[in-house]
Amino acid sequence: MMTPKERERLRELAKTQLEIANSEKNQKRTKMWIAHNSCKGERPMIHLEIDNFTQEVLFPQMQCQDPMARRIEERLLHNFYNMQVLDDDKVVAPYFGVWWDLDLKPWGVEVKKEVASDGGLGQHFTEQVQELGEEIDKFRPSEFKIKVDETNEYFKAAEDAFGDILPVKHVGKSLTCWLTQDLVHIMGMQNMCYALYDYPDEFVQVLNQLADDYLKFFEEWRDSGLLYPTAGYEECNQGSICLTDELPSEGPVDLNQIWLHMDSQETINVSQEMFESMVWDSYKKVADRFGLVSFGCCDPLERLWPCLSQLKNLRKASISPWTDEAYMGEVLAGKKIIYQRKPSPNYLGVSEVLDEDAWRDHITTTLKYAKDCTVELTIRDVYTIHNNVDKAKRCVEIMKECIADNWNA
């Protein structure tokens, strides 16, 4: 149970968030994100995602012990850390947003995985399907549900603690649909790749089945009245922000009025022809139903561009470290699609000392290739900054300097 001291701690953090949210700097950057997401911004936007090294930057600040209080405390700190410390372009909401927790079991299968015993990042998904054609009966209707009670418990705890200071509201963030990832989680990568060749008809069948299951779930979610707008400060996935004036900011909303994120990293070694004939249709049937789409994570998108270019609602394209920057700069030039560059995390996360010259060259190269695009720079997948916040801050400073020196110069 939350103690009076913990409650007071949360109230102080809520006051801090509201103060930062109402600051002139935050309001200015909010307007910049809205313009940027409509491809009308004046410069590239920057975000250094801290999610994978919160143990270094947030945990040392945390004081609460009660599990619920601690969960809320971490979210509050997370909400304004970037604005307060790193000074990138991450913005702060004038409310405490709560989105629905989900329980997803694609094809009705409970995903099983093992994690590294040494506390590392390694994980292995148990292969529950070996031969797709011989085990097709394992692919039952998916079991998807919103965890209403659990989410409302979290909502009420936050509202009771500081709702009179910082409004607590149900919000929406981009929905997600990662079809091939779901398949790998129950088959393993090798079995999935073999299935593409050995059981092509069955592969198409189960992927389309899952796409239909997701759409049915999304429609039921909509019909329940619990599908909230995704035009605010919430996550558009992949380290980006939903802020837009092109989608409704008040609910209820339909699927064609919200953001969706998709990717297909697991087909990185699949030929363009095989992807188009066996994978793409299931993705497109989902993507076509939404208002705006963000696509990609670590996928090399130049391979997928013949398919992705068919989407009329594609707004953000992930330009990962494995993507041909120059090619994507050419095909996205002048289009209303954001070139969301993911610089290599190695510069910040591997070496204890930031190689400033190499980092500067890395960012400048992106700005050169994407000079005719709307650019977003999102640093992701950094698992440690070696407890050196100054290194992270310097990383952001150099990005700003590169933009000042090279953007539209």
Cα–Cα distance for residue pair 362/340, rounded to 1 Å = 15
pTM summary value: 0.96
Separation between Cα atoms, residue 358 and residue 347, nearest integer Å = 8
337-360, pLDDT tens digit by residue? 999 999 999 999 998 999 999 999
27 vs 29: CA distance, rounded Å: 5
Q: Is the peptide bond before 252 cis (omega within 30 degrees of 0)?
A: yes
For 63, phi and psi rounded to 5 degrees? -120, -20
End-to-end alpha-carbon separation of the chain, Å?
Answer: 57
For 51, residues 6+ apart whose C-beta sits below 8 A from its C-beta are: none
Encode the chain (409 residues) as per-residue pLDDT tens digits: 899 999 999 999 999 999 999 999 999 999 999 999 999 999 999 999 999 999 999 999 999 999 999 999 999 999 999 999 999 999 999 999 999 999 999 999 999 999 887 767 788 899 999 999 999 999 999 999 999 999 999 999 999 999 999 999 999 999 999 999 999 999 999 999 999 999 999 999 999 999 999 999 999 999 999 999 999 999 999 999 999 999 999 988 999 999 999 999 999 989 999 999 999 999 999 999 999 999 999 999 999 999 999 999 999 999 999 999 999 999 999 999 999 999 999 999 998 999 999 999 999 999 999 999 999 999 999 999 999 999 999 999 999 999 999 998 5
- The secondary element (H helix, E strand) that includes residue 317 is strand 314-319
CA 32, 333, 343: angle at the middle one, nearest 5?
A: 65
Report the greatest alpha carbon distance in the chain: 62
Asked if 388 and 352 count as a contact pair (C-beta separation under 8 A), the reply is yes
Tokens of 281: 């249709």
92 within 8 A of 26, measured Cβ to Cβ: yes
Angle, CA 227 vertex, CA 222 and CA 231 arms, to 5° = 130
Give the rounded distance of the alpha carbon of 153 from its chain centre.
24
Let me know: does 306 contact 285? Beta carbons within 8 Å.
Answer: no
